[in-house]
Amino acid sequence: MATLKFLLERSPTPLGEMLIVTDEQGLLRALDWGDHEADMLRLMRNQYHKDTVDLQETRRASSAMQAMLAYFDGDLTGIDQLPVLTGGTDFQRQVWAALREIPCGSTISYLELATRIGKPLAVRAVGMANNANPISIVIPCHRVIGSNRTLIGYGGGLHRKRWLLEHESEYRQGRLI
């Protein structure tokens, strides 16, 4: 068993306190909300279950933090190239990679996502992988909606999902650059 040392940053956003976890190489490992910190820690323990996770708070703004603050200010594409590294299963990582392919300002259903990864019968498993996503927004699980086009399932709360989709929709319509 190894000890994984990560840096934890906190920042206010229009949606509440944002938590960003990066490793010593600057790779984004987790992004969540202050009111969901316990859930974030649980997800990280589940993903790195063979290792001990050591979070050290820092005030130094990582490139991930800078990109996220720019995202909230309207530069939505800066997060597309952020380097991430996750734990999880091969299937989860496959789902998370597919999530990063959903264009900003767009949504797809869980069924569409399952079909994109070649497993149209795995809708429920895709939903569970979405729920275990450790890197909110950057791995855009908020862009996945119900087949009936309703907002369902978002670990950070539906109010955040709605805000993020509206924020990105404004970008898509050319109102933000």
For the annotated catalytic residues, the residue numbers are 141
Rounded to a whole number of angstroms, the CA Rg of the chain reads: 16
Residue (of 52, 64, 60, 140) closest to 96 by Cα position:
140
Residue 23 to residue 113: CA distance in whole angstroms = 29
Place of tokens 């920042």: 11
Strand order in the sheet with 28-33: 28-33, 18-23, 3-11, 52-57
Residue (of 100, 95, 128, 132) closest to 114 by Cα position:
95
Assess contact for 37 and 44: CB atoms under 8 A: no
Mutual orientation of helices 90-99 and 123-131 as an angle, nearest 10°?
A: 80
